[in-house]
Structure formats: C-alpha cells, structure tokens
Amino acid sequence: MNEVVGGKEQDLAPNAGKIVKFGTQPVLLVRITQTEWRAFSAVCTHLSCIVQYDASRKLIWCACHNGQYDLNGKVIAGPPPAPLKEYAVHLRGEDVVISRG
C-alpha cells in the first residue's frame, strides 16, 4: 500500500489531528493551518503507544510516557529515542491523500 485517502478536506479543522489507518499502521494526520497538512507514523518511537495531536500546545504527544514531538516529528521532550516517520500529504480534489514520503 502506497497511499490512502485520509478523509475530506472539510472534515478536519485547522489546528486538529486524527488517526488514519494506513494498511495495518496508524498514521497521525495533522491540519496545522488552513493550507498546511502533515502526517506521521502514530506509533511512538519509545514503547509503541499511539500518539495524539495536542491542539493547546501545538505538538504531538504520547500519553503513555509523556513523549513530545514537534510538528516536524522531531523529539522535543520525554523518552522517545527517535523522530516520528513522516508521510507525504497532498490534496486531490476534496480528498486528503497520505502517501509514503
């Protein structure tokens, strides 16, 4: 599998995120602004919990051991040893398409 449709553009508001199934893997799709989208592997590189988008702090957060990543997937705090793997995002009409970067 090389790409999935993560939903319709209007379904996700700016400064919000959601988990999308990419085959058997969970991917976190984040809409940063009206036009800026990002997607990362949602599996925390620490001990494999599923991360979430923290809208109030504008970062990606893992509730299990308080791992924190910025919106480039880079570790900014906590125990994760490596960044989150990034996926490419583009719009195809109204569809938000996530593909392997």
Partner 1 sequence: MLPTQPSPRRKAITAWFQDRLAWDSVREFLAHKTVPVHSGTIWYAFGGITLFLFVIQVITGILLLVYYRPTPTEAYESVQFIMTRVAFGWLIRSIHIWSANLMILSAFVHMFSVAFLHAYRKPRELVWLSGLVLLALALGFGFSGYLLPWNTISFFATKVGTDMATFVPWIGSTAGRYLRGGDAVGGATLTRFFGFHVAVLPALTSLFLLFHLGLVQKFGISTPPWVERRSRGVGAKTPQMPFFPDFFLHELMVWYGALALLGILAALFPWELGDKADAFASAPAGIRPEWYFLAPFYTLKLIPGHVAGIEGEVVGLLGFGLLAFWWVTLPFWGARPDGTVRSKLVTGGAVAFLAYLATFSLLGYLR
> Under the rule (CB under 8 A), what is the footprint of partner 1?
19, 21, 24, 26, 28, 42, 46-52, 62-66, 75, 78-82
Longest dimension (CA), the chain: 39
User: Minimal distance in Å, beta carbon 90 to partner 1?
Assistant: 22
| Cβ atoms of residues 70 and 62 within 8 Å | no
Question: What is the nearest approach in angstroms of partner 1 to the Cβ of residue 11?
Answer: 16
Looking at the DSSP bridge assignments, the partners of residue 97 are 5, 90
Half-sphere exposure of 57 (CA within 13 A, CB side): 12
* Amino acid code (one letter) for 9: E
User: Which lies closer to partner 1 via its Cβ, residue 15 or residue 35?
Assistant: 15
* Residue with smaller CB distance to partner 1, 12 or 62: 62
Q: How far is the CB of 71 from partner 1 (least distance, A)?
A: 16
